[in-house]
Structure 1
Amino acid sequence: MIEVRDLVKRYGGTTAVDGLSFQVRPGQVTGFLGPNGAGKSTTMRVLLGLAAPTSGEALIDGRRYATIRRPAHRVGALLDAGAVHGGRSAYDHLLSLARTNGIRPRRVIALLEEVGLAGVARKRVGGFSLGMRQRLGIAAALLGDPGVLLFDEPVNGLDPEGVRWIRELMRSLAAEGRTVLLSSHLMSEMALTADHLLIIGRGRLITDSPTRDLTPDGTSLEDVYLRITAGSVEFGAGR
């Protein structure tokens, strides 16, 4: 489970996250929505120990990320598909991660097959499209078979078939009892994928609700989202 308690994150005079509290429970896909600058990426970075909170807590299974032993086996994440050494092959990239986390090479081979990259496993990542890098990033997140997963805009660069694949993957991971937090700007896809929605604006929680409760009688999630977030866009207010 993911739990954020009264989280505040400031960068100088800018407040990116402002007293944010929520829970992400296992067994469902939780969508994380908000305008650009709402604080979504900052919250994920704090959860993963990449940024220190100004105050409050961001916990995974009741612990701060920095205190988790063998974190790759507990938490997987894709925040930036471009954060890969372009000179390495897809196989070598995953193999290096596997070796540093005590994971067998056969897991690398299995994941490359699962994400559809087996045919380009020995090619350099520098020549990959954004969609291929997204698939590689997802494989890296799944490498340790973790119970908690965080994905920031994983459908960027994917074609319709790839978007459908992401949807099915997210739902299958949740069905296995994992905790899945998914950020995306594609409202139509989020309506099909997420069981629960967290909507934030200006670093604060606006809505915490099951998706079905926000879209009764076929109401468009995009329309609901635009209505809920109206007035919550403030450039420079968050990251």
Structure 2
Amino acid sequence: MCGTGPRAQPGGVIELRNLTKRYGDTLAVDDLSFRVEPGRVTGFLGPNGAGKSTTMRMVLGLDTPTSGEALVDGGRYVDLPRPLTRVGALLDAGAVHLGRSAYNHLLALALSNDLPETRVAEVLEQVGLAGVARRKAGGFSLGMKQRLGIAAALLGDPGVLMFDEPVNGLDPDGVRWIRHLMRGLAGEGRTILLSSHLMSEMALTADHIVIVGRGRLVVQATVSELTERYPSLEEAYLELTAASLEYGANR
């Protein structure tokens, strides 16, 4: 298990209810509804501009829905006490204080959520950054920043975890490490929402797939259901998103 003792919360449910987001005349997310359940990795797929990152930002309260709801266990993220103990997320590996060491970056997050300092050393060890803990994040490679972002997501030992393109900048060993990490976290009963463009990795990592196009839900199904209907997950994705884009352009 990720932490040193039992979690207060097992995996929780992420639920979107008719979620919509407009930026002026641009409809980024369009009446989107789906659930992300505990104990499995849910892959979140869609072309660039499909609304994936905006959706994840609304779950985390970083963007406000125009209408609809984005909920974690029936409530809004912004209403959670000590939110890092319930939901961990990596949306942007570059969102770190470049003048701080990896250790101090995580320590500031820990103190903000009343987490013990011992968690900082634990997660740095878990993600393979213990040896560079005192180095400034500004000198990190993209892959190292990805690992630091994952450490921040794991810091509160949460039951719900969200990752947006976590394998960017990682070498093959790092990609395999991410795959095993995601599978292991889901095996502990946690809820994992994983956005990625790497179809080969998604086929190896995810149990369930949600595909969106032009902000709308295209399909949600298990990986096995999709690969029974199509030659591969990649072929399923390409065909389903092509149909979605054609529909979106004409509606």
Q: Please list, as runs of the form range in 1=range in 2, the aligned pairs for 1:84-163 lying within 5 A after superposition.
A: 84-163=96-175
Q: Say whether the 8 Å CA contact 1:7–1:53 is kept in structure 2.
A: yes
Among candidates 18, 31, 37, match of residue 25 of structure 1: 37
Q: CA deviation at 1:78?
A: 0.3
Asked whether 1:202 is paired with 2:225, we answer no
For structure 2, the 5+ residue unaligned runs are 1-12
User: Which residue among 240, 246, 249 is the counterpart of 1:228?
Assistant: 240
1:116: Cα distance to partner? 0.4
On the 8 A contact 2:218/2:244 being kept in 1, the answer is no
Give the Å deviation of 1:68. Answer: 1.0
Q: 1:44 aligns with which of 52, 56, 63?
A: 56
Q: In structure 1, what is the equivalent of residue 197 of structure 2?
A: 185
Q: Deviations over 1:117-136 (max 9, x none)?
A: 01111101001000000000
Q: Which residue of 1 aligns with 2:178?
A: 166
| 2:79 equivalent among 67, 74, 89 | 67
In the alignment, the residues of structure 2 paired with residue 164 and residue 95 of structure 1 have an alpha-carbon distance, to the nearest angstrom, of: 27
Which whole-Å CA distance do the structure 2 matches of 1:217 and 1:232 have between them? Answer: 17
Matched, 1:8 2:20: yes
How far apart in 2 are the matches of 1:119 and 1:189? 28
For 2:100 and 2:60, the matched residues in 1 are separated by 25
- Given that 1:38 and 1:233 are in contact with CA atoms closer than 8 Å, whether structure 2 keeps it comes out as no
Query: Deviation of residue 216 (structure 1)?
Result: 2.2
Q: Deviations over 1:82-124 (max 9, x none)?
A: 0001111000100111111111111110110110001111101
Cα deviations by residue, 1:136-182 (Å, 9 ceiling, x for unpaired): 00000010000111100000000000000000000111111111000
Looking at structure 2, the residues matched to 40 and 135 of structure 1 have their Cα atoms a distance apart, in angstroms, of 21
Q: Which digits, 9 at most, give the CA deviation of each residue in 1:48-100, with x for residues without a partner?
A: 00000000010001101111111111000000000001111000100111111
Contact 2:129–2:148 under 8 Å retained in 1: yes
Q: Deviations over 1:170-222 (max 9, x none)?
A: 01111111110000000000000000000000000001000111012882211
In the TM superposition, what is the alpha-carbon distance from 1:227 to its structure 2 partner?
Answer: 0.6
Q: Is the 8 A contact 2:17 2:34 kept in 1?
A: yes
Equivalent residue in structure 1 for 2:95, among 67, 74, 83: 83
1:35 and 1:232 in contact (8 A); partners too? no
Contact 1:37 1:233 in 2 (8 A): no
Greater relative CO (CA pairs within 8 A, separation 6+): 1
Contact 1:36 1:233 in 2 (8 A): no
Counterpart residue type for residue 28 of structure 1: R
SS in 1 for 2:74: coil
Tell me how many residue pairs correspond in the alignment.
235
| Cα deviation 1:29-52 (Å, max 9, x = unaligned) | 000000000000000000000000
> Could you say what secondary structure the match of 2:104 adopts?
helix
Residue 232 (structure 1) shift: 4.0
